[in-house]
Chain A
Amino acid sequence: MNNKMKKPALTLMTLSMVALALAACGSNNDNSASSDPSPSASASASASSTPAESPAPEAGSVKLKFYAQYSGVEIPVYDAAKEAMKQIMPEVDVEFEVAAQDDEQKIKTYAAAGSLPDIFFASSGLIETLKKSDNLYVMDDIVKANNIEALLNDSSKPMLWNKDGHSYSVPNVGQWAGIIYYNKELFEQNGVKVPTMYSEMLEAVKAFKAKDITPLAVFAKEKWPAALLLDMAIVGSGDVGGLKKLDNGEGNFSEDAFVKGSQKISELVAAGLISKNAFNTTADDAAAQFASGKAAMYVNGAWSMANIFEKLGDKVDIMYTPLADTAGSWNMSGGGFNQGFAVSKNSKKAEIAAKYAALFSIEFAKQRVIQLADPNSILVEKLVPTNGLNTIQQKYSDDSVNFKTMTTFAWGYENAKFKTFIEDNSQKLLSGQKTDDFISDSNKALETARK
């Protein structure tokens, strides 16, 4: 090689080596689900039926990918459930991948490309999508073989089954209600009556608006809180099915309760219910406004009780149905549905993954009670939270036995078109759209969604 060529050639060689080194450094060495089933894994799959004939599977020999919300306060819950599962299925070792708050974009992309993780958290909306694309493992046999239903309390049993009669995931949390949290101190200081029904709510909104205090902190940057408020108003106006009824293919927006519910939201908005920035407000932002006393009330699910109590302590309390026509209603918005840890049908170890996911859900539910003081257990087994229940958790726990009916949160809607338009239209209503226009637009969209 002549001298003129030496340097460029050496440079190219060096770069090639760098590329190879990078590829090698990052090469996927995991022998997880994509690898061939090991003998021990096969053994473990059949272990339940013929334990005496099969050799004991090697601990951790089956590696599974587990895509879930492994972050924040839930990390210890996942870790404890994983630890408990080592006693039940020692042959399985799961690697958690932190789920992104990306509106399920990553998991849907994986499904479209046929690359779903072995186990993943799936909302009911995602379950419907993945059912259509034949990506979900049907867990009926696993549920029956492991007697999962017997472990669940009566209110949680329905969540085990999809409306088509199959189970695609074992629920890991209970039927949370939609709640309006309120700052007791602000109500007392300003002489405002805590609303128990719609007319009092309207008065409270006007009173706080007059004092330049945001009546209700809503994180309308996300779309579901607007849908939840509308659902609360509809349920409170006499139709206990709320928006879920429409999602199920029944009724329309011209019915009395829907018109009345929409009018309630319009009236509250006109009275100054939300701040001007509500549509740029995130959940953390809204919680911070509420915690700092800039907002008198805050709408969210009951799952936020621990977080909110931590910030406000005894200053905070909860109300369930302040948009109802009369006081004392126990018809609730929110709820639960068949969602939880699902399994990819294409997993090389789908059966083991399904058993693991089903039993993991139970351990997860246990640890949520023990470690996070979840007052809404799905289990028959009575568990004691390590740190006890806080005031509002205790109140919710006591009151939840009175809940008569529930609807669902927006991510529980099964008709994807319905979910999209109702979230968009609820936001428009919350931003001041006239009731007549809302009813007319929503009825048109409803027709399209049902085609």
Chain B
Amino acid sequence: MIFLLKRLTTRALTYGPLSLFLLVSLYPLIWLLFYSFKDNEEIFSTNVFGIPKHWRWENYSNAFDVFDIVGYFKNSLIVSIGTVVFTVILALMFSYAAARMKWRFANASRVYMTSGMFIPMQIILIPLLILERTLHLQNSYLAVIVPYVAFQLSFATIIFYAFFKSLPYEIEESAAIDGASVYTIFFKIMVPLVKPAIASVSIFVFLFAWNEFLVALIMISENTLKTLPLGLLYFQTQFGSDWGAMGAVMVISTIPTIIVYLLFSEQIEKALTVSSAVKG
């Protein structure tokens, strides 16, 4: 009896906090789902946290009827994937050059690149707008992709630099002895070794680009180029908003980020074991 009691206590002590953690972690998503089926009264006053009293499926039909969700979704995908591709490629090449090659300004360039993390977006908006207008980039996908890449390069560079630094030089030496060129070493040996880092960076950069609002708001005016966060403005009027319909759009727009995370999460875990690439 005492043994059973002890076992139950141990289980409760183990699973209790874990269940609480699970609930705290998952509830925001569940709450978002609930709120996408409510109206403003339920969301703000009568039923803030509970299950919808009346399931308002019309919020979802509004999301598709009133709101060009397919168009905004497509734009968000193009912008986010474009940002990820360019950021990863540029950051990978720069980090490799800064971490593994010997050249005069390697360290200074790295510090310069990472210093971009300390520049707030708001203060560069006006010069950025003038620059984009001059370069005829305004109202194109590149109008947001280019600044997004520029802002994310600092972060991506830090991650990749740390990974490249941690790899043993013997890998490249062996490849060079076997006759591999710099490009072969980079693309065929080093890049595969930092795949976990690429996955991590891709997730963060994708989430950033998917959710970003301010730069997109200023740089994009064409309705056909607007991303999902901009599209949500359709539900905001001067003196009120349809929060239920906005919730429905947010639920739909959350799906890709969850998919991206599920696809790459395993790679992130592997990031911790990258130093075991070469044994002995």
Question: Among residues 118 to 173 in chain B, which have CB atoms less than 8 Å away from a CB atom of chain A?
Answer: 125-126, 129-130, 133, 136-143, 145
Q: Are A72 and B242 in contact (CB under 8 A)?
A: yes
Who on chain A is nearest to B231 by CB? A98
Q: Are B82 and A22 in contact (CB under 8 A)?
A: yes
Q: Are A72 and B140 in contact (CB under 8 A)?
A: no
Q: A100-B217, A113-B133 are in contact. Are A25 and B141 (CB under 8 A)?
A: yes
Asked if A79 lies at the interface with its beta carbon under 8 angstroms from chain B, I say: no
Asked if B234 lies at the interface with its beta carbon under 8 angstroms from chain A, I say: yes
Chain B contacts of A311 at CB under 8 A?
41
Residue of A15, A27, A99, A287 touching B240 (CB-CB under 8 A): A287
Chain A contacts of B85 at CB under 8 A?
15, 18
Contact flags B173-189 to A (C-beta < 8 A → 1, else 0) = 00000001101101100
Who on chain B is nearest to A290 by CB? B45
Bound-complex Cα distance A292 to B141 (A): 44
Q: Are A27 and B140 in contact (CB under 8 A)?
A: yes
Q: A71-B236, A287-B40, A289-B44 are in contact. Are A26 and B225 (CB under 8 A)?
A: yes
Q: Are B44 and A288 in contact (CB under 8 A)?
A: yes
Asked if A97 lies at the interface with its beta carbon under 8 angstroms from chain B, I say: yes
Chain B facing A: main interface SS: helix
Bound-complex Cα distance A106 to B142 (A): 19
The stretch of A1-9, A154-162, A393-401 in contact with B is A1-9
Chain B contacts of A300 at CB under 8 A?
239
Q: Are A65 and B44 in contact (CB under 8 A)?
A: no
Q: Are A26 and B218 in contact (CB under 8 A)?
A: no
Asked if B223 lies at the interface with its beta carbon under 8 angstroms from chain A, I say: yes
Question: Among residues 16 to 53 in chain B, which have CB atoms less than 8 Å away from a CB atom of chain A?
Answer: 40-41, 43-46
Bound-complex Cα distance A311 to B39 (A): 11
Q: Are A288 and B40 in contact (CB under 8 A)?
A: yes
Asked if B241 lies at the interface with its beta carbon under 8 angstroms from chain A, I say: yes
Who on chain A is nearest to B127 by CB? A113
Size of the chain B interface, CB-CB below 8 angstroms: 48
Q: Are A101 and B143 in contact (CB under 8 A)?
A: no
Asked if A117 lies at the interface with its beta carbon under 8 angstroms from chain B, I say: yes
Q: Are B126 and A288 in contact (CB under 8 A)?
A: no
Q: Are B234 and A98 in contact (CB under 8 A)?
A: yes
Asked if B221 lies at the interface with its beta carbon under 8 angstroms from chain A, I say: yes
Asked if B238 lies at the interface with its beta carbon under 8 angstroms from chain A, I say: yes
Asked if A115 lies at the interface with its beta carbon under 8 angstroms from chain B, I say: yes
Q: Are B141 and A26 in contact (CB under 8 A)?
A: yes
**Other CB < 8 Å A-B pairs besides A4-B181, A15-B86, A30-B139, 15 of them?**
A5-B183, A25-B78, A27-B136, A72-B237, A74-B238, A98-B233, A98-B234, A102-B217, A113-B129, A113-B130, A282-B44, A284-B241, A287-B240, A291-B41, A301-B239
Chain A residues with a Cβ under 8 A of chain B:
4-5, 7-8, 11, 15, 18-19, 22-23, 25-28, 30, 65, 67, 69, 71-74, 95, 97-102, 105-106, 109-110, 112-115, 117, 282-285, 287-289, 291-292, 294, 300-301, 303-304, 307, 311
